[in-house]
Structure 1
Amino acid sequence: MTFAVLRALHAILGDALTDIEAVYAAADPPPTHKKANSFSRVYASPPPSPSSYSTSTPPNSDSTLEFPSLDAPYDPASAAEQLTAHPTVVAAINRIVAAAGQMAATVQVPFLTLCDAGMGYHLPSCLRVLEAAHVVEVLRDGPVHVREIAARTGVEQAKLAHILRLLATHHILREAAPDVFAANRISSLIDSGKPLRELVAKYVRVSALALFFFRYFLSFSYHILLSLPPFPSPRLPASFAPAALIHVHIREEDDRGGGGYPNRFRLERFEKAMAGTGSWEAPGAGLHGFDWASLPRGSVAVDVGGGIGSTSMLLASAERRSAIVIQDRPVVVEMGEKAWRAKCPELLDSGAVRFQVHDFFTPQPFTDAAVFLLRVVLHDWPDAFAHRILLRLREAAAPHTKLVLADFVLPLACVDDFGVGEGINVQVEGTEKMLAPAPLLANLGKASANAYWMDLTMQVTFNGQERTLREIVALALTAGWKVVRVTKAPGSLFRHIVAVPVAVLVSPQRRARAGSGSAFFDLPRVGGMAGAGNAEAGEMEMIERASSRCGTPTFGSRVDLPSVAKARARFGGVWSARDGRLAVRAVPRRLRL
């Protein structure tokens, strides 16, 4: 019956649109009127009487009113806007909203629907930034590049671009070009109508609507967003939030004296929470994102920050040409070895898989690895510290070493003519200008919301971020890695990015911010750790990884070890009873190195 329900919803949408179009077609030609400020705060209250519009005028293409455009400023004085109060139109709009919402809830993956509901608190936070920083007033006269918006509002550019793009993804702004934003029918509604020079007194005569929204949109994550230091700081954002907004009870179980480790309760809770993150990837995406079968026999693949080896378990079940080394913090390695010993001891005994205690901010011990894999690691860290992680791997890389990054990649909310600018010309196989044709947003709008929720979650939790492809390419170049390929799985923004070493390291003092590609900013010096002075050592001590991050794997690393049967199911392959291996469809030639 589900298809019948979906088709019924589809019919409701069509019928409602027909009703709205009929009302607009029957209306008198729009009267000539003098527009107030196109971003006026004036309301038509009470709404115009339906009797003021003719219902007998035959449709005429020259006189038919159009429904107000989402991309145009809100103009309450226009006939088209006033006609939205017509009873027939109001009823039809309600049916459209109801049917579209029910259809989306029916067809969307339940996991993503829950993510959308659970992380939706970031949206009011971003709205609060939009209002408090007077962004709409800056956009009043047309599209503006985020660089200028940041300069005029005082909000750090890298954060602002991500905030505005999340709003554009939810149709509250419009990304007119890469990192160029414009107000629309929705966001223009919160314009104060005041000249920028008078915004100090913004709330003196502002509309009741704006006060209603933004006195209540005073959320926890908004305070964190505005109180965060610039991105190079690794300090946890929660430490910057007003104390009155933080009320978290955490049971600390510190048994250092007994040979254990602190925060065991938090680690166990984290372990359960991360069990669901495998839903980010489509089955088999980790295998098909890189041609693992092309590696020479006897080579070494290093899963850096690999947790207890859940990703490596899937790879080991499908491909055993190379040995796999899983690196992480001591407590995580202990958990991993115990889990592997219980489920697949033969892989440990044969040496096909082994664990190694390693801090990825220190020199990498493997200097001839075929592959370094970083799955959901970099999004935990600000750019300066992500740079350090990548630089350590570059220092240990051989000419043939490949780097595989697995993370969400944020698409722009406009057509993206990819390029990183500033004289850096990088050709990346697999880039896409758009995920959907017009009139849909180029990034698929709210269908892609989960990646943008994760971006804001990483910002307010770790001062990290999900990144656009432009940001990833530029960040990798600062550490001597050239991105050459990005692969995707259908229906997901989780990507596998392949990079190769480049001979000349780009200065770590320069890297792209805010996804702009053409905007480069100075970074604090982040040289090799071996010769770190007291200042850098103190900065690294400030990270307090063991306590502030509970000694856990990186956020998003699965800490439940799947069984061999689950690995088979995830890859959708055929199990071979002869050698106990999983036969997987060959990787397409175009994906091979």
Structure 2
Amino acid sequence: MAESILQLSKLITDNSSHLVSLTASRGLTIPHLNEQYTEESENFRKDAQCAEAAAIIVAAALQLAATLSPPQQSAYAIFGGACKASSVRVAVDSHVPEILLEAGEQGLHADKIAAKTGVDGKLLARHLRSLSNHHMFREVSPNVFANTRLSGVLGTGKPVDQIVANPESKHDDTSGFVAIVEQLTRDLHNAFAYGLDSIKDPLGRSAFQIAFNEPLTFYGWMEKPENAYRLHRFGISMRGFGAMQPPDAIEKAHSWDALPQDSVVVDVGGGVGTVGIALAKAFPHLKVVVQDTLAVVEAGENICKNSFPKGLASGRLSFQGHDFFTPQPIKNASIFILKNILHNWHDTQALTILRQLRGSATPETKLIVVGTVIGYNCREHAKGVESVYKEAPEPLLPNYGGANDMGYTMDITMMTIFNAKEFTIGDMKALLEQAGWRVVRVQRSVPPHNFFDPVIAVPV
């Protein structure tokens, strides 16, 4: 025990010194917890060495806390998460982050916050105090609260009066992160309580279907007329997940320069072309095809007419309506991309998608599956796979422990909503092999950029 404490403490001390030295030498700044969040304040994390040092510090600090805290307290912090999610929903739906942004560093009394959105000030104060105990908000003086960096990301940046006057457009023209928060804490919060019911269900229903007594899938449910706002918000939330990934991540996912002139790259289920446009701009020797439903690709073409008209005019970028459960029409692809697709579907449906691609692949075609690769929490690797990934040092968990929690949370979320999953390397290998593909390489990223882990496979 004593040796472990000293090891963890040394990791914190050594990497803190290293991080401070790195940021100073590179003209970067580590923001204070209580300063207002901005995208620019996160610039130090774009440096790979800084990001790794920060991840080690966080992982060691959380493991040290788990070691020294009473086990009942540590356990309660986990199973009591529903209380915190409830408080976050209260704060977000009451527009507290936006109100406090307008109030400034001096903060605002809970009664005055409450008066702006019609809630009970005394009850609101209790929610905010609970969150401030975890540095999400700051209690400046009794019942007076201000934003921190954590609560700053829960705000849209819009004027409160504008949101109250038109709540349906709250998330329009935002990063999408608050849409994610609202979706998880409002609509899906109930579904998480039915996880046990789902894994025991003889009909194979998802926790979402049981919670909402809904025979339709999540997507089918959202397409009901009464769920128009939910569907609109969901689209914006997907943009929020995209914003959490490094802007150049797709460019680093493969050696695109090495592909021959006019190589065809197909982004299957590529939405409105976020990835396709980035590739076509960065690598003009490629021919990029973005496939999705007709309505989505039509929207993508309209976006591209403004953002990248030369790509469309030259034929270097094109959009094609296609259902990925049906035979793949392009037979000469050098690369197929599946970005954040497989984790939305049960294994049987994911197999269909993969087999349709395999049926149209040439012997030289490569498949790039992009998503969150779930690490084992033991030091065990998949054999026969090249792994570009640096594990956390001992005695930390190899996958950076609590510093790398979002992927595991996403895995439970996918199981809850879709009866689907984020994949371990073992899961991915097994699924791809059933569909006629062989994994040859996995490129895993250090937190916080672990939503973008390309897995490369070739035809068997």
TM-score when scaled to structure 1?
0.45
Max Rg structure: 1
Contact 2:206 2:415 in 1 (8 A): no
Report if the CA contact (8 A) 2:197-2:207 is conserved.
no
In structure 2, do the counterparts of structure 1 residues 395 and 68 end up closer, same or farther at CA, with 3 Å as the change threshold? closer
Please, which of 501, 511, 533 is the counterpart of residue 459 of structure 2?
501
Q: Are residues 71 and 268 of structure 1, via their aligned partners in 2, closer, same or farther at CA, if it must alter by over 3 Å?
A: closer
Asked whether the 8 Å contact 2:271–2:296 carries over to 1, the reply is yes
**Structure 2 equivalent of residue 487 of structure 1:** 443
Shift of 1:428: 2.4
Alpha carbons 1:115, 1:450 under 8 Å: kept: no
Measure, in 1, the Cα distance between the counterparts of 2:385 and 2:247: 28
Is the 8 Å Cα contact of residues 194 and 208 (structure 2) preserved in structure 1?
no
Report what 1:145 is aligned to.
none
Deviation of 1:297 (Å) = 0.7
Alignment match, 2:381: 418
Taking a change above 3 Å as real, the CA distance of residues 71 and 333 of structure 1, as seen in their structure-2 partners, is same
Q: Report the Cα offset of residue 264 of structure 1.
A: 6.1
Whole-angstrom CA distance in 1 between matches of 2:222 and 2:411: 25
Secondary structure of the equivalent of 1:459?
Answer: helix
Residue 393 of structure 2 corresponds to residue 437 of structure 1: yes
2:297 matches 1:333: yes
Match of 1:457 in 2: 413
Distance 1:442 1:231 in 2: 36
Q: 1:252 to 1:73 in 2, by over 3 A?
A: closer
Within the alignment, does 1:466 sit opposite 2:422 as a pair? yes
Answer with 341-350 or 453-462: which moved more.
341-350
SS of 2:262's equivalent?
coil
Instruction: Say which SS state the counterpart of residue 329 (structure 2) adopts.
Output: coil
Q: 1:184 matched to which residue of 2?
A: none
Q: Aligned equivalents of 1:224 and 1:418: distance in 2?
A: 29
Tell me the distance in 2 between the aligned counterparts of 1:493 and 1:109.
22
2:284 to 308, 313, 320: 320
- Asked which structure has the greater RCO (Cα within 8 Å, sep 6+), the reply is 1
Cα deviations across residues 511-568 of structure 1 (Å, max 9, x unaligned)? Answer: xxxxxxxxxxxxxxxxxxxxxxxxxxxxxxxxxxxxxxxxxxxxxxxxxxxxxxxxxx
Write the letter of the residue equivalent to 2:237: A
Identical aligned residues as a percent: 35
Matched, 1:239 2:239: no
Is the contact between residue 224 and residue 241 of structure 1 (CA under 8 Å) also seen in structure 2? no
Secondary structure, aligned partner of 1:405: strand
Question: 2:311 matched to which residue of 1?
Answer: 347
Q: Say yes or no: does 1:367 pair with 2:331.
A: yes
Q: Any conservation in 2 of the 1:231–1:463 contact (CA below 8 Å)?
A: no
Read off the aligned partner of 1:227 and give its amino acid letter: S
CA–CA distance in structure 1, aligned partners of residues 133 and 233 of structure 2: 37
Amino acid at match of 1:221: F
Distance in 2 between residues matched to 1:383 and 1:72, nearest whole Å: 40
In structure 1, stretches of 5+ residues that fail to align are 7-66, 75-96, 126-218, 255-262, 420-424, 503-593
Tell whether the 8 Å contact from 1:363 to 1:392 is kept in structure 2 after alignment: yes
Q: Give the TM-score of the pair, scaled to structure 2.
A: 0.57
Q: Whose helix proportion is higher, 1 or 2?
A: 2
Residue 300 of structure 1, CA deviation: 0.7
- Alpha-carbon offset, residue 301 of structure 1: 0.4
Q: CA deviation at 1:228?
A: 5.1
Q: Which residue of 2 aligns with 1:269?
A: 233
CA change 1:286–1:252 in 2 (3 A) is same
Residue of structure 2 equivalent to 1:376: 340
* 2:235 aligned partner, one-letter code: E
For residues 264 and 137 of structure 2, the distance between their equivalents in structure 1, rounded to whole angstroms, comes to 49
Residues 1:452 and 1:468: Cα distance change in structure 2 (over 3 Å): same
In 1, Cα distance between equivalents of 2:352 and 2:427 = 16
Show the counterpart of 2:264: 300
Which 5+ residue runs of structure 2 have no aligned equivalent? 1-28, 34-64, 73-131, 139-147, 155-175
Q: 1:438 to 1:98 in 2, by over 3 A?
A: farther
How many residue pairs match? The answer is 307
Counterpart of 2:385 in structure 1 is: 427
RMSD value, Cα: 4.2
| CA distance in 2 between partners of 1:4 and 1:327 (Å) | 41
